[in-house]
Structure 1
Amino acid sequence: MSTVVPLAPEKPSQAVPLAGLNQLLDLAKSRSPDDQHRLLMGVAGLYESAAGHGGAPEALADIFIALTRSAEREIRQVLAQRLAKAEWAPAALVRMLAADEIQIARPVIAASPLLLDDDLLQLLADCSIEHQIQVALRPDLGAAVARAIIAGGDPAVMTALATNRSARIEDASFTVLVNRSRQLAALRAPLTRHPSLNEDLALVLYQWVGEALRQAISDRFTIDPACLSEAAQSAASDTAVAWEAPSASAADESDARLVAKLNAAGQLRPAYLIRALREEKLGVFAHGLAVLGRFEVAQIHRALTGDTARPLFLACIAVGLDRAAFPALLTEIRKLNKGFPRDPDSSAWRLAERSADQAAYEFRLLMADIDAASV
């Protein structure tokens, strides 16, 4: 008597409905943007469905990626929003979207579970400052990526990392950030609030922050008042007396009125800022730069009195001033401004290209908290 061998259970079918395929084929023949959008979303739906039934075929992933690569910007942006938190998407497609222009990449970098530390390190190495800032803001950022950001040394990216309270920053890396905050004022406020700040580093930070942040440190840590007093005295002896931004005065109000009048008449342009400096009108320059860049004039005053010229450089690029003209412009400003802003970073801030929008974003990030201003 022969033995009956039971058949192996069938695997769940990965076949897609014929009607669905036929509809996608019809859409593929159309050049209409709406049809192309429907095609890509249809393929996304097929891939998600197949992934939920044992895995999508590799060929379908290749089709998905090829269609995305040729899709219009608006369609890629919609797709990035859809895939931002998806665990089923092709990892290669997610990496491609993360390296796309920042408006498309941002949701993917911020949330995709498919981006690994190696992918984030590649973005830091290859992509724009805006991409790097978004990597620094990513929730639960790993220690290796945080180390790479600090090693890169870009102030805007490091400041973004300091504001990321869920980032895993090792003690040695956090010490570097605290030490950098002596020259980079924008780091001070976020570091004061960061969970990785310990009592020893708080005492170091206490030496060069303003009164509001000193109070925040005192409220957070139980530090011997004698140690705090010693730190404050050390800071006072090490810090040269800085020129303070002018308070509101008749001259300041007159400068503001002149700039407002020029702006209303359509005569306020970047070239006028250079003219104002040549005429030794630093107040007009400050108000004009604030209006053209849609910045707060207090932020411009802080940039003019800072420990580095980088924020002022970013503000000037944001309003369309030629980066090649900035060294001469900086020389004129220092003549009128008792040597400020200082420039301990030498010419390093001039190396990387910035678009106007990118420069404005970085400027606002660096100048975001008035408590971070120099003592």
Structure 2
Amino acid sequence: MGALDKGYKADELIRLAANKSVSARNELVENITDLFLSPGGRLNEHERALMNDILSKLILNVEHHVRKELARRLAESVDLSGELVSMLANDKIDVARPLLEKNPLLHDAQLIEVIRNRTDAHRLAIAVREFVSADVSDELIEHGNEDVVEALINNGSAEISEASLEYLVAESKSFDRFQEPLLGRQDLPPALAYRMYWWVSAALRRRIVKEFDVDETLLDDAIEMATKHSLQQTGEEDGVMDKALKLARKLDEEDRLNATFILQSMRQEKVNLAVAGLSQMAGLNVKIVWRAFRERTGESLAVIAKSIGLSKEEFTSLFLLVMQTRSGGKARATSLLKSILTMYNDIKAANAKAAVRHWQRDLGYQDALTDMKEAI
């Protein structure tokens, strides 16, 4: 015999069902919930189907706080019908969250429906479920905001397809917050980790080398191939810069390209010529030299200058002229200048050249702080 056959609350349930008031319906839902949860009131299959049917019909007509409490109490129940679970999962987030996070009855199709039609708060609750399939992950990545995607990446039990991981690795170049959790995933292919090498922070780059157990020479080769594959080839040598580069090459061929030319170009406010000259002397892409000019700390510029043999005095003049160009006024000796000159003294020429060789391999050098630090 089941709970209802024994007359367990049967009269009370009938009375409440006949009463159409909001308070009676709220009480009816609470009583039916008690039947689901009470150890002494276990329902047989027929009674469970009946209770699910009653709840499904009443649930949208009861007070919000009742639905919220019902969802909280039944969050992990496996006795609920698919229809009832789906209704609660599509409710307002404070009702839906417990089921979206914990209920095992929610199938991929139901979760995907919620992802496509509800809010980012709903998607976030799904992203932290104990298990998330690859299909559900794909939908979360497509429809969710950054918080949702980051939570998904941090969920080690979530399945993420290799195609989605490849997409997320590419996105991590723009969204720093994705980088560390991606590198912490057990399912991240080494090839994708290598691709991240240049644009992640120095600490994460060291982690790639350490945790993915790869020879650094092989890593450089993998990075170079990935870079050549992913970077779009653009015609950078046009207009003013094209002419500046041609002049720098001509002067280099005539053995007249030197620090004097670079400094004179800066003093005459011919910054393109100075950039082109440094690019030619260091064998670097002009984009890298431009980035070094824009970098406030001057570390990249110091490494480049050391690699081509500029004296401390020549580098000091170059650094001050670059600062002046950035500020639009006269550059002053500051604590920054003092620190960068101390660094310049400490940089070993051989290490600076090694760092520049890395930069020659990849335009995405801008985050390669490890090479700068190793040059000291």
Deviation at 1:197, TM superposition (A): 1.2
SS of the residue corresponding to residue 60 of structure 1 reads: helix
Given the two structures, how large is their TM-score scaled by the length of structure 2? 0.54
Contact kept in structure 1, 2:120 and 2:148, CA below 8 Å: yes
Structure 1 segments, 4+ long, off by >6 Å, are 230-240, 242-246
What is the one-letter code of the residue matched to 2:185? H
SS of the residue corresponding to residue 223 of structure 1 reads: coil
1:131 aligns with 2:122: yes
1:21 aligns with 2:10: yes
Contact kept in structure 2, 1:16 and 1:46, CA below 8 Å: no
Give the corresponding residue for 1:72. 63
Given the two structures, how large is their TM-score scaled by the length of structure 1? 0.55
Structure 2 stretches lacking a partner, 5+ long: 232-283, 298-366, 370-376
Equivalence map 1:1-375=2 (5 Å): 12-13=1-2, 15-18=4-7, 20-27=9-16, 29=19, 37-47=26-36, 52-56=43-47, 58-152=49-143, 154-228=145-219, 241=291
Paired with 1:78 and 1:245, the residues of 2 have a C-alpha distance of 55
Contact kept in structure 2, 1:109 and 1:135, CA below 8 Å: yes
Change (3 A) 1:89 1:51: farther
- Deviation digits for residues 172-210 of structure 1 (CA, Å, limit 9, x no counterpart): 221121112112222112101111112211111122111
What is the one-letter code of the residue matched to 1:18? G
What is the one-letter code of the residue matched to 1:159? E
Give the corresponding residue for 1:322. none
What is the one-letter code of the residue matched to 2:92? E
Paired with 1:206 and 1:162, the residues of 2 have a C-alpha distance of 18
Aligned length: 237
Change (3 A) 1:241 1:74: farther
Paired with 1:121 and 1:244, the residues of 2 have a C-alpha distance of 45
What is the one-letter code of the residue matched to 2:70? L
Change (3 A) 1:47 1:232: closer
Deviation at 1:155, TM superposition (A): 3.2
SS of the residue corresponding to residue 79 of structure 2 reads: coil
What is the one-letter code of the residue matched to 1:135? I
Change (3 A) 1:133 1:95: same
Give the corresponding residue for 2:256. none
SS of the residue corresponding to residue 47 of structure 2 reads: coil
Structure with more contact order per residue of length (Cα contacts < 8 Å, sep ≥ 6) = 1
Paired with 2:143 and 2:67, the residues of 1 have a C-alpha distance of 30
Contact kept in structure 2, 1:87 and 1:114, CA below 8 Å: yes
SS of the residue corresponding to residue 115 of structure 1 reads: coil
Change (3 A) 1:207 1:171: same
Contact kept in structure 2, 1:84 and 1:108, CA below 8 Å: yes
